[in-house]
Amino acid sequence: MSEVEITREVHEKLAMSLFNATWDLLGREDRTEKDDIEMIHSAHASRHHWGQIGEPLQFERGEWQISRVYSVLGRSEPALYHARLCLEICRENDIGDFDIAFAYEAMARAYAVAGDRENYEKYRELAEKAGGEIDEKGNRDYFLGELNSIKL
C-alpha cells in the first residue's frame, strides 16, 4: 500500500479542527458515552497532527487538553501522565505565563481526580502563584475561574 503524503496545511487544519471539536465536547453537559470516546480520540488525534508540524507550545497545549479530557472522565492515571508531559514541555522550553499556570492546573486537577490531597495542594499552590503572574487580566481571570472549578 502506498503512503499518502499529508501537507503541513492539512496537518495544521486537522490539528486545529480536532482541538476545537474536543473543546466543544468538553463543554457539553449532555455528552453520551459515544461522545466521551470521540472526545478521547479527537484530543489524541489533534496532538498527533501538531506533533507532525507544530512547536512546543502546540505540543504542551495538546497534552494539557488530553489531560483535561481524562480528568473530566474521572481517569486519573492518563490525566496525570499527560499533565506531566505538559509541564515538562513548558519547563524544557521556558514556556510561561498562561501556559505554565495551566500546566500546574492540569497537575492539580489530575491529583484531585486521583484523590491525592497532598499533591493536589502542592500543584494548586503552584498554579495559584503562576496564575497570579499571568500578564493579561482577562486570561488571569479565566485561569482562576478554571482553577477554582477543581473539586477534590
Q: pLDDT digits over 85-106, tens only?
A: 999 999 999 999 999 999 999 9
- pTM flag (> 0.85): yes
Q: How far apart are CA 35 and CA 87, in angstroms?
A: 27
Alpha-helical runs (H) found in the chain: 8-27, 33-53, 56-72, 76-92, 97-114, 117-132, 137-147
Contact 43, 69 (CB under 8 A): yes
Ranges of each domain in the chain: 8-147
pLDDT for 152 beyond 90: no
Cell of 42: 479527537
Pick the CATH number of 8-147 from 1.25.40.10, 3.40.190.10, 1.20.200.10, 3.60.15.10: 1.25.40.10
Contact 130, 100 (CB under 8 A): yes
